[in-house]
Structure 1
Amino acid sequence: MEALFIYLIKSSGLIVLFYLAYFLMLRKETFFNSNRWFLLAGLITSVLLPFVFITKIIWVEPAATPINWSNMPMTNYTEEKTFEDYLPIITTLAYGIGTLLLLGKFAFDFYSLNAVLKGKSIQQQADFKFIDTKENVAPFSYFNTIVYNSALYTASELENILEHEKVHSEQNHTIDVLISRLFCIVFWFNPFIWWYKKAILQNLEFIADSEATKKISDKKAYQITLLKITTYENCVAITNHFYQSLIKKRIVMLNKNQSKKWNSWKYALVLPLLVAFVFLFQIKTIAQEKTNENVSKSARDVVTTINKNFSDEELKKKAEFFKKEFNCDLIFSEIERNSSSEITGITVNYNGNLYGNGTYKQHSSNAIKDIYIKHEGGKIDITDAEIDAKIKNDRIASSSDKTLSIDKEIFINGEKVSQNDMDKLDPNEIERMDVNKKNNQQEIRIVTKKFHKTITENDIYINGEKADKNELLQLDQNTIDKMDVNKKEKTIRITTKTNTQTFNDTNIPAPPTPPKFPDGPMPVAPPIDMSKLPAPPAHPSNMKDKKAMAEFEKKMKEFEKKMESFEPDMSAYEKEVEEVMAKREQIFEKEMAKYEDAMEKYRDAMEKRNN
């Protein structure tokens, strides 16, 4: 679950990044369609980018002191439950409950939608399905279905409403609504996702208003329709509905001049922020031990075994190993197997600039004996198991008789042993043996088959993080504070002294808290007396009747003059709202600047502390 929560936190951070970019730079622009794709791209990026990692390799010095396992404090692992142990469970339960509640609300909204649509008469026109309901609901669209109550509106108002809803249907705005709802369910704990959803829905209304007014001759009549619809607040949550509480912003956007094309450069500003996110949080560091530059690969002794059960893939890996380590070509050919897939015959050819050429063969009716391919002293030697045992024992005995001035250290399964212990070891029990030579120091490291099996069957954790067997063997014994073995859970848990000091360090700098956008009461929109709204004059049926047309134009001028009486109140309200939002934006920008400075100091403090 820890990996899941880290993923949710990273995705939430990206959602915040895209929302702030939209709010601070794009929300006042009239690039409505571009804003739609920008907001959707933000959601998709927040889901996918946390999976993208850049691998960084750090070369570290080899462990100065090998691990002497016999001196390590070994205890049976017993875990005492603390509040920190229960915290992941509590967090998981809280997140799960919140998610389930929102999923239930989502399902209920579908049920409410089905209740509205069920049993209604559908009128098909082109690609649209129209449902004229008698229920007191605001007009809405769901994919290509448009629902309205014609009894609540005049013919001209209904025309405006349907043009608006057709835009929602044609451009599949329902998909945006559903996606934003699903993100709210998954990221419900992030307050920015709710503002993000509101921004998506608001922008969809801008798009529908902009496209609808292109097909409507009377723009003012459309705005009057917007004001009238505000009285019908009953709507279905998962649909594109004509009513929106931000009616003032929609009217402002309808009358706003088109943004200049060069302002589209603002979209590109999010790219360096995404790059910064990747380099700050998506770098996966892998530590690799440096090889000894004073000892060439050709001087390293290696013994590798091939037995009767080797598959073709395993033989291929052996050949790749010798090619990589010693630039020696091993070629396995004439491979024969019995009914049990055991190797009964094999030919091994080797050649290389340092080794010359050679061939080894085993062919019989029975399974082959173990084959030992050795790289010793810059030379390749291939023998079977019987010959190898004698050679290995001779080599061990010979090394004890030498009087060379070379210091020798022998380690079996990480434990330092004597020459006598090595002499007693059965060669057939050896899984791997590495011999390293450096100046007057010789180091022999042996891993037995039993020990290899033990560390392979157990999960290894170093300072709480899962590690592999190579990391375990490379760990410096002087840094180990405690090692607990839990046979029941099949785990080996190691705590180093460095980690203990870090855990108890109370001077760890705390990261700053990001600011929240100021909230508070908004100015109240001026009340509109619907009874005083003048009705537009009816258009003459006979366009050639000059007298009727003159009378119509006269009445239209009177109508427009009366409509202008409503504009001062709306203009004053708009100015008041803009002043409030401008002050809040200034406060938020100052807080963001302080937050960015604090983050810089926090990063510097953490970097100094880690170094």
Structure 2
Amino acid sequence: MVHYIIQVAAFQLVFLLIYDVLLKRETFFNWNRVYLMGSALISVIIPFIKIDGFKEVVPQKFIINLPEVLIGNATQNNQTNLQLETLITESKPLFEWETILYLGMLLAILGFAFKISKMFWMLARNPKSKHGKLFIVKLQNSNAAFSFFHYIFLGEYLNDNERASILKHEIVHVKEKHTLDLLFFEVLRILFWFNPLVYMYQNRMMTLHEFIADAKAVKNEDKSTYYKNLLTQVFETKNISFINPFFKQSLIKKRIVMLQKSKSKQVHLFKYTVLIPMVFGMLVYTSSIQNLNAQQTNNTDVALNKNSPISELVWAIKRQIQVQGNVSDEEDKGLKFLMKIVKDDSLNPELVNNVKVYANQKNKTQLMEIIVELFNQIQTQGHITSEDEKAIKSLLILTTDGAFDDPFFANELESVEIPFSVIDQVPVFPSCDSLETNDERKACMVKGILDHVSKNFNTKIGKENGLVGTQRINVIFKIDKEGHIVDVRSRAPHSALEAEAIRVIKTLPKMIPGEHKGKKVIVPYSLPIIFQEQDDNPQDKKE
């Protein structure tokens, strides 16, 4: 959430700088209106857009990511940090900054409601008359002038000439639907009440509205008379942010300067093309930052596993299936084509044509895109290695009905790894066997592993090896079909930490193995361990 807010603010700042430096002095008022509205909206939307072509995502291995465990004497010992990705669903506490955020939004909503009620109060207490499709509201004891939707408010102290001039101006606001623009920014002010850039956006839009209305209002009127109306009024504008006021001291000088300004040359329209590389760069950033986060989250897999391009794509397909939770008919069709490619010794023309048609489909889902990318990689590579075939079969076992009874997969069934998300019965500690549901067993299993590591990790290892501060240890291991802990590997800044992590994981008790489709299976795990060692003599080091 914090990162999203920072991105929105950064993008808006860039857009506003471009507007102030290049665009606001031009007389392309309608273009500037589109720019302000569009850039404000784009700033909010872009952080959600992730374009695969702009990133090189390292595919995650289909592995169970346990919560990290915190060990050492810098903070409380034996506590578990459950803030990272975990398969246990539990409610998170509402952080203080979130409370402040929502409280601010509530106050902004109340402020907006007050201003709306003030508008209705003025409508109710002042006489109204119809002027075509518009309504003229006569403000008693006032010389103010402003508009709101199809209502034009005019003070009763305005003389006939002033009323006529002001009415032309305010009618432009109504016809151009300027109130909608300002209400759009009111919504942004509620959602991003803490962001001063939103208020700057609204202020610039309000100024621009006056330029637009002035430019159209003086087409059939003497400019000097118009200037006189602007300069001789007693300024009494209502302080409401979503109305279009005629008299506003801070705008008078700007409006007169802009009225005297010559029309901008058409060649200056090229300035708006700066948006293209700007938006492109923002998309590259938001897409690549997702890749960076993925790399940081999955550094265990990147550090400990090196796979071929085909194997990496297979893992990407598995991960996408896990994310979306199901496979559509069209996605399943692609997996069936993959099955035929692996089963057939040679590709027949019909299969090649079917794959080509499948790859050329429009509106493909993300999973279909990865499947097509796998087809292209197989074609580019020209052959499938034994390791690649094993990886593909491990995928098809999970997605093909009857695969556990198909002789084609017989060899892979001995080593296939079943992910937590689809397994029928998860591996569990012997003490968790009495629990009834899979979710309860998962929670008990995770707690058991974390408690075991916390209690058995040698915390003296830090002092023995002169380690100070926070050390991150990444461990991966598997629970095989007999319930044994196997293939334990680790990566840490110091070899002693790696060895200790492996030792502790290997001391885990024999588990009740996981089962899928009535057969015992291998299940992989990933566990981050955060080891902290406090410096006992910080003063000595300073001296």
1:506-562 CA-to-partner distances (Å, cap 9, x unmatched) read: xxxxxxxxxxxxxxxxxxxxxxxxxxxxxxxxxxxxxxxxxxxxxxxxxxxxxxxxx
* 1:496 counterpart (528, 531, 539): 528
Describe the SS at the equivalent of 1:28.
coil
Given that residues 62 and 474 in structure 1 are in contact (C-alpha distance below 8 angstroms), is that contact kept between their aligned partners in structure 2?
A: no
What does residue 129 of structure 2 align with?
A: 123
Residue 234 in 1 paired to residue 242 in 2? no
What does residue 374 of structure 1 align with?
A: 407
Question: Quick one: distance in 2 between partners of 1:259 and 1:91?
Answer: 47
Given that residues 59 and 290 in structure 1 are in contact (C-alpha distance below 8 angstroms), is that contact kept between their aligned partners in structure 2?
A: no
1:386-407 CA-to-partner distances (Å, cap 9, x unmatched) read: xxxxxx8xx9xxxxxxxxxxxx
Residue 478 in 1 paired to residue 490 in 2? yes
Question: Quick one: distance in 1 between partners of 2:341 and 2:158?
Answer: 81
Once the two structures are TM-superposed, the CA of residue 9 in structure 1 deviates from its matched residue by 2.5
Once the two structures are TM-superposed, the CA of residue 121 in structure 1 deviates from its matched residue by 3.0
Counterpart of 2:151, as a letter, is T
From the two aligned structures, give the one with the greater helix fraction. Answer: 2
* 1:225 counterpart (229, 238, 253): 229
CA change 1:49–1:166 in 2 (3 A) is same
**Higher-RCO chain (CA-CA 8 Å, sequence separation at least 6):** 2
CA change 1:464–1:101 in 2 (3 A) is farther
Total equivalences in the alignment: 367
What does residue 26 of structure 2 align with?
A: 29
* 1:264 counterpart (269, 292, 298): 269
Segments of structure 2 that go 5 or more residues without pairing to the other structure are 72-76, 84-91, 296-301, 315-327, 348-383, 385-401, 428-437, 451-471, 480-484, 493-497, 509-523, 536-543
1:270-320 CA-to-partner distances (Å, cap 9, x unmatched) read: 2212211121222243679624999xx9xxxxxxxxxxxxx9999978844
CA change 1:494–1:230 in 2 (3 A) is farther
What does residue 161 of structure 1 align with?
A: 166
Question: Quick one: distance in 2 between partners of 1:233 and 1:90?
Answer: 39
Given that residues 70 and 80 in structure 2 are in contact (C-alpha distance below 8 angstroms), is that contact kept between their aligned partners in structure 1?
A: no
Matches within 5 A, 1:62-461: 78-79=79-80, 89-136=95-142, 138-150=144-156, 152-216=157-221, 218-244=222-248, 245-283=250-288, 284-285=290-291, 290-291=307-308, 319-320=336-337, 322-327=339-344, 372-375=405-408, 433-434=413-414, 444=415, 453-454=425-426, 457=439, 458=442
Counterpart of 1:175, as a letter, is L
CA change 1:451–1:45 in 2 (3 A) is closer
What does residue 323 of structure 2 align with?
A: none
1:144-179 CA-to-partner distances (Å, cap 9, x unmatched) read: 1111123x2222111111111011001000001111
Question: Quick one: distance in 2 between partners of 1:265 and 1:110?
Answer: 40
Given that residues 123 and 129 in structure 1 are in contact (C-alpha distance below 8 angstroms), is that contact kept between their aligned partners in structure 2?
A: yes
CA change 1:325–1:185 in 2 (3 A) is same
Given that residues 123 and 131 in structure 1 are in contact (C-alpha distance below 8 angstroms), is that contact kept between their aligned partners in structure 2?
A: yes
CA change 1:77–1:175 in 2 (3 A) is farther
Given that residues 229 and 243 in structure 1 are in contact (C-alpha distance below 8 angstroms), is that contact kept between their aligned partners in structure 2?
A: yes
Given that residues 134 and 150 in structure 2 are in contact (C-alpha distance below 8 angstroms), is that contact kept between their aligned partners in structure 1?
A: yes
Once the two structures are TM-superposed, the CA of residue 60 in structure 1 deviates from its matched residue by 7.9
Describe the SS at the equivalent of 1:496.
strand
State the Cα RMSD in Å: 5.2
Describe the SS at the equivalent of 2:406.
strand
Larger radius of gyration: 1
Question: Quick one: distance in 2 between partners of 1:139 and 1:448?
Answer: 67
CA change 1:190–1:475 in 2 (3 A) is farther
Q: Which stretch of the first structure deviates more once superposed, 269-278 or 163-172? A: 269-278
Counterpart of 2:407, as a letter, is K
Question: Quick one: distance in 2 between partners of 1:78 and 1:58?
Answer: 32
Question: Quick one: distance in 1 between partners of 2:119 and 2:487?
Answer: 62
Question: Quick one: distance in 1 between partners of 2:42 and 2:267?
Answer: 25
TM-score between both structures, scaled by the size of structure 1: 0.50
What does residue 49 of structure 1 align with?
A: 46
CA change 1:206–1:318 in 2 (3 A) is closer
Counterpart of 1:176, as a letter, is D
Kindly, what percent of the aligned residue pairs are identical? Answer: 25
CA change 1:433–1:32 in 2 (3 A) is same
CA change 1:445–1:177 in 2 (3 A) is closer
CA change 1:258–1:107 in 2 (3 A) is same
What does residue 360 of structure 1 align with?
A: none
Segments of structure 1 that go 5 or more residues without pairing to the other structure are 298-310, 330-353, 355-368, 377-391, 396-431, 435-443, 486-491, 505-611
Once the two structures are TM-superposed, the CA of residue 87 in structure 1 deviates from its matched residue by 10
What does residue 12 of structure 1 align with?
A: 9
Question: Quick one: distance in 2 between partners of 1:114 and 1:89?
Answer: 38
Describe the SS at the equivalent of 2:193.
coil
Question: Quick one: distance in 1 between partners of 2:116 and 2:123?
Answer: 11
Describe the SS at the equivalent of 2:8.
helix
1:402-455 CA-to-partner distances (Å, cap 9, x unmatched) read: xxxxxxxxxxxxxxxxxxxxxxxxxxxxxx725xxxxxxxxx566699976327
